[in-house]
Structure 1
Amino acid sequence: ELAGACHSCTSRHYNGQAVDLHNDARTSEYLRTCESMGGWAQDEGNHVHCQFY
């Protein structure tokens, strides 16, 4: 989801620089892929947050 949830007003989700990825079976893959693309990834428990600067 790019901005489908409730985020802060300055969230990078709103300008296309962050995405939340939901799929527990692929968490490790999402973390690796985000980081390999130069992003910052964090396992938030129920989703992976991937952000670019």
Structure 2
Amino acid sequence: MTRRRLRRRALLADAYGVTTAIWTVAALTAVTGLIVAVRMSTCATPPPPS
């Protein structure tokens, strides 16, 4: 990767620190996982028998 692309990816870490950047990525991952879990559970329920 070029230096410019690497620099752009490190903006959060540069501004707030590496620990904050890692926790931010972890929180985003958890939130998206919860969204997927909720959406899958609503789609996975079988229709009621007629």
What TM-score comes out, normalization by structure 1 length?
0.28
Flag the structure with higher strand content. Answer: 1
What TM-score comes out, normalization by structure 2 length?
0.30
- Taking CA–CA contacts closer than 8 Å with sequence separation of 6 or more, which of the two structures ends up with the larger relative contact order? 1
Flag the structure with higher helix content. Answer: 2
User: Which structure has the bigger radius of gyration?
Assistant: 2
